Chain A
Amino acid sequence: MAAYNFIRNWLLTIFHSSLHLLRAILYRLNIVRLIPTKKNSMPKYYHDDEAWADIEPLPQDDGGLHPLAAIAYTDEYSEAMGYLRAVMAKNEFSERVLGLTEHIISMNPAHYTVWLYRAKTIPELGIPLKDEIAWLNPTALKHLKNYQIWHHRHTIIDALGSPEGEPEFISTMLEQDSKNYHVWSYRQWLVKRFDLFNKPEELEWTADMIETDVRNNSAWNHRYYLVVGGRDGKPSQELAKREIEYTKTAIRKAPQNQSPWNYLSGIIRAAQLPKSTIKDFALEFADLDRPDEVYSSHALDLLAEIYAEEESSRAEAEKALNLLATRYDPIRANYWNFRKGLLDQPKLTA
């Protein structure tokens, strides 16, 4: 066991984190194709191409008037779009159409029409879905914030019926941009589609992401999705306890980090535990008797909520909210004062 730990730590030191290690292994195995296709500098045309001789392109119709926000398309783009409109009008699904969509995507990856038509073409042609994914990978890495690429991937993987290789690919993407919304949303879809909720690796990977940056709210959201959000019913007391302990450790590393505080409240709410469960913990970071030693405005916020629920602690709630409004989180003074106003309102009995 000691030897195993030694080797593991040694590897981790070299590769900084298990993610780097994974990435390095993937490079070796050539699972992830990272080398982007070299862009052809020569423009590609269809009008003098024998293979396209039977197609009469449909040119852009500007209806005589010069429209707003008009783009002076290159001849190459303009012509390719003309051929696309023509094949779409004919409902043609063929190898050459696939090439055409690739060509247009290389010039404009945000062109949803082309992506949708490509997604229709693939099953019509019976193209191996794995080939499509292999083609997609470098494109996705080049255009991290693109909606279409992710939806296309979703469509293909859904049809393929296997998530194999996807978690690894996602890790590679998140190394470039660890909070990429599309990537995380795609991962949540993947977990649901292939029921990965109980796969230990999924939670371990998420814990690694949180370990790497405890302030990564996307990672916390994914954890919540795995543990509670994506499942039916309320979490067991045992699970809630585990999550509370996990989150406490994370908060101790950086108490002024709102993600785990929100997570803690989220777990408490989902498990229908009283907020006072975490009162002592919050007091470690903000004790109203020592107003000069507040280590987390979020602890004060939570305490204000806990006190507000306790019939006899209104004065404490007010004190916590005053500290927030005047000293520890003054930019939100209006909000804290609004919360103070709520203290006077008759309580709704739950």
Chain B
Amino acid sequence: MDVPLRSSAGVPSSRLEEILDGSDRIEELSDTDNEYEDMGTATPEEQANIEYLDSVRIPIRDSLKTETLKVQDETHEIILPYLEGNPNDFTLNAYGIPKLQRERHAHFLKKVIGDYPPQAAMMDASRPWIVYWGLQSMTALGIDIHPYQKLVAHTFSLAQHPTGGYGGGYGQLPHLACTYATILSLAMVAGTATYESVDRKTMWHFLGRMKQADGGFTMCEGGEEDIRGAFCAMVIVSLLNLPLDLSQDAPARKAGLTTFTDGLGDWVSQCQSWDGGISAAPGNEAHGAYAFCGLGCLSILGPPKETLPKYLNLPLLTHWLSSRQCSPEGGYNGRTNKLVDGCYSHWVGGCWSLVEAATSIPPSTQLWNRTALSRYILAACQEKKGGLKDKPGKHSDAYHTCYNLAGLSAAQYKYVYDESVNKDIGSANLGAPYHWKTACGYEGENVIWDSEDTVRGIHPVFIIPYRSVYECRRYFETKEDF
């Protein structure tokens, strides 16, 4: 039989089993070519971190070398010093973990929504995203975004297309991703004038043009059909309380479809792949970001307890989501055998509230490892110059800042679906997502954050503050028509 023997080299925990004394343990680890540990004796915090990492490490390693293993090993070399020690010299919290660097991030976020040099022309079509990521990160940190209200409404009014929806900027064609980021940003800054700046009637026509005969949505006219479209469209229809009927000029009517939701659940269902994850479109590889889009879409179509089991093999999905948590890094990757990346703190970490709402689990139990994720975010994803990032060695940016903070919020709170929340709204058209609440801050074992490291609660489907979600829907529920 050709079962390869487990290679013991490079598996600290298997070596460590033979070592009894704690200080020897540090010496033993310093034999690896890890520069950081060569620098001297470990502090008590570092020792505790190293012990924690050993406690979550998979003690099996195959010897077969392939490209995947090579890049994984290289990545570990880069990340581990940050999980073991504190190379950034951040102030540590009571648990010996870097504090949430609020001031640094606040400073960074101000720059994010400010002016960009000419080289940034590459993001000319993504400006609504930049604004959304920036503003959402600010609200997560508790920064008041009200001063930006007028400017936000103004910025987006220029990108609204005469035929409906929003583009990346003035004169650009409407696109569902841009429209999604725009509507979320407008909902965050709120206010009657802001809400009224949206042309809901042309929006309804635009979304009708995106609806496809197979039930899904394209991102733009002549563009790709994928699960982002399905999610973005549902977010917009629901938040703006648009009629569910397709407009008469919607091409999907020719195929016999009459509403935005016709065939949509089944289409999402087809995106569940053979390993349980969710892919961009039927047949593609399962991917964390698309998993969140799929679950988000279904959580708008109805209460997660009904829609998730109806359209997905939930046990298989749970297995796949669980497998995304990387050991020993604690953060998530987006696909099987890919590298950990801080943005999946949300894309995968954010799936758990939705999955838990659809799964019968005893109140004290949970499905995932919040401690490991928050360790990764606080210790490995904070950039010294401010902002959060993919992993050490990368630069911080608005995207990773937003989704690391959203992931941190998912780890720090228990978000629950409760029909008794907001009895006055969400009884009609796609009203399910208006019944979420924060049950409590997570207080289980192994909390590794102080109150100062805690971000604000975030609505688990819309990824903006709860209040923004409920106020927006409440406003548009007063509209009889357009």
Contacts and interface: CB of A to CB of B under 8 A. Distances in A.
Interface string A97-120: 000000000011111110011011
B64 A253 contact: yes
Main secondary structure of the interface of B (DSSP, over half): loop
B64 A214 contact: yes
A108 to B, nearest CB: 5
A73 interface: yes
A212 B66 CA distance: 7
Interface string B113-144: 11111101111111100110010000000000
Interface string B194-222: 00000000000000000000000000111
B116 A258 contact: no
Interface stretch (B34-42, B87-95, B260-268, B323-331): B323-331
A331 B273 contact: no
A26 interface: no
Interface residues of B, number: 89
B337 A217 contact: yes
B176 to A, nearest CB: 11
Given A68-B152, A327-B59, A332-B322, A185 B115 contact: no
A6 B266 CA distance: 52
Contacts of A212: 66-67
Contact of B362 (A108, A213, A270, A341): A341
A333 B127 CA distance: 41
Interface stretch (A125-133, A134-142, A162-170, A176-184): A176-184
With a 10 A CB-CB cut-off, give which of B58, B121, B325, B362 has the most chain A CB atoms: B121
Contact of A155 (B158, B222, B325, B365): B222
B77 interface: no
B171 A255 contact: no
Nearest to B112: A69
A260 B126 CA distance: 37
B269 interface: no
B152 A221 contact: no
Given A72-B117, A120-B222, A215-B68, A113 B284 contact: no
With a 10 A CB-CB cut-off, give which of A112, A254, A259 has the most chain B CB atoms: A112
A216 B68 contact: yes
Contact of B175 (A112, A263, A265): A112
Interface string B159-175: 00000000111111101
Interface string A52-89: 00000010111101111111111001000100110010
Main secondary structure of the interface of A (DSSP, over half): helix
A120 B170 CA distance: 20
B372 A284 contact: no
Contacts of A112: 125, 168, 172-173, 175, 220, 223
B341 to A, nearest CB: 13
Contact of A295 (B6, B127, B134, B152): B6
B171 A85 contact: yes
Contacts, number: 253
Nearest to B72: A215
Contacts of A185: 280-281, 284-285
A307 interface: no
Given A67-B158, A72-B116, A108-B125, A213 B168 contact: no
Contact of B58 (A110, A117, A155, A331): A331
Contacts of B275: 221, 262-263, 265-266
A84 B169 CA distance: 14
Nearest to B113: A68
Contacts of A41: none
A328 B433 CA distance: 38
Interface string B276-288: 1000110111110
Contacts of A334: 365-369
Given A85-B171, A229-B283, A256 B60 contact: yes
Nearest to A67: B155
A105 to B, nearest CB: 11
Given A263-B274, A334-B369, A68 B59 contact: no
Interface string B177-205: 00000000000000000000000000000
Given A295-B60, A335-B318, A258 B337 contact: yes
Nearest to B226: A185
Given A119-B222, A253-B62, A335-B318, 9 more contacts: A71-B117, A72-B115, A84-B171, A214-B66, A215-B337, A221-B273, A253-B64, A256-B58, A334-B369
21 contacts: A68-B113, A68-B114, A68-B127, A69-B115, A74-B121, A77-B124, A112-B220, A113-B168, A116-B220, A116-B222, A151-B223, A213-B66, A217-B335, A255-B60, A258-B336, A270-B274, A328-B58, A330-B58, A334-B365, A338-B365, A338-B367
